[in-house]
Amino acid sequence: MPAASLEVTGLCAGYGPTRIIEDISFAVQAGDRLAVLGRNGMGKTTLLATLMGLSTRHGGQIRIGDEDVTGKRTSARADRGIGYVPQTRDIFASLTVEENLRTGLKGRPASALGEAYEMFPRLRERRGNYGKQLSGGEQQMLSMARTLLGKPQVLLLDEPLEGLAPVICDELMALLARLAATKEVTIILVEQQIERALDFADSVMVMERGRTSWTGAPAELISDRALVDRLVGVGIH
């Protein structure tokens, strides 16, 4: 399946009656890469959760390709090709690495598991270990590998680099760049490592208190440190 576009219009959402996301609109063309930046608590995770149908939606529309998925359940959105790697690394603690990976196959043959081990050789070494026996970084790799096995058309990544050693961050970003270059998946990357996110993305959205405070090209932020400081509150290191 080729990548699919994602179009969000006037999205308002939160948790129960509490509104967190206010009037968010953006579009990502099939195969493109959007970075979503913002300080802590600005609503980035809530935005991704809303795209997956995991929050309370108060208004707005979400389209994947030419399909309106706004009213669809989370499982239907996953079937429609949205892959989600949450910030909380939702692996199964009492299943082994390989059993965890099998849950991501989505009907593909078990031989596809080799793809996950090629991406993350460390997971091959740990294939018989339980989820709860993995380090934080290994859990992150497992969560990512399991989602990628399902061949998502739109991939939502919530701070995939959090807690990873710099050398692993390099490897993971290189892997994502290769994946993006295939144009087989559209990627929405929420990340606090701003420089890496700007290197990767072809467009950027900054969030502030649940709203979009800036959108533009990565180059505009890379060349304007004061703007980054103002928008995200940290400089590029």
Ligand X SMILES: Nc1ncnc2c1ncn2[C@@H]1O[C@H](COP(=O)(O)OP(=O)(O)OP(=O)(O)O)[C@@H](O)[C@H]1O
Binding site for Mg ion (CB under 5 A): 44-45, 87
- Taking CB under 6 A as the criterion, the residue among 33, 44, 77, 196 binding ligand X is 44
Considering CB distances under 5 to 8 angstroms, the limit depending on partner class, which of ligand X, Mg ion, none binds residue 153? Answer: none
Nearer to ligand X, 84 or 120 (CB): 84
Work out the burial of residue 39: count CB atoms within 10 Å of its CB; fewer than 13 is exposed, 13-18 middle, 19 or more buried.
Answer: middle
Cα–Cα distance list, 217 to 22, 131, 186, 198, 237 (Å): 22, 38, 17, 9, 19
Q: What angle do CA 106, 76, 142 make, to 5 degrees?
A: 40
Tell me the window of 42-50, 163-171, 175-183, 216-224 that interacts with ligand X (CB under 6 A).
Answer: 42-50
What is the number of the residue whose Cβ is closest to Mg ion? Answer: 45
Tell me the window of 41-49, 104-112, 178-186, 211-219 that interacts with ligand X (CB under 6 A).
Answer: 41-49
- Taking CB under 6 A as the criterion, the residue among 1, 2, 27, 41 binding ligand X is 41
Considering CB distances under 5 to 8 angstroms, the limit depending on partner class, which of ligand X, Mg ion, none binds residue 38? Answer: ligand X
233 near ligand X, rule: CB under 6 A: no
Distance separating alpha carbons of residues 184 and 175, to the nearest angstrom: 14
| Kind plus residue range of the DSSP H or E element containing 99 | helix 97-102
Nearer to Mg ion, 31 or 53 (CB): 53
131 near ligand X, rule: CB under 6 A: no
The residue assigned the tokens 């999205």 is 11
Record the tokens describing residue 161, joined without a space: 């680099």
Considering CB distances under 5 to 8 angstroms, the limit depending on partner class, which of Mg ion, ligand X, none binds residue 20? Answer: ligand X
Closest CA to 41 of 192, 209, 159, 235: 209
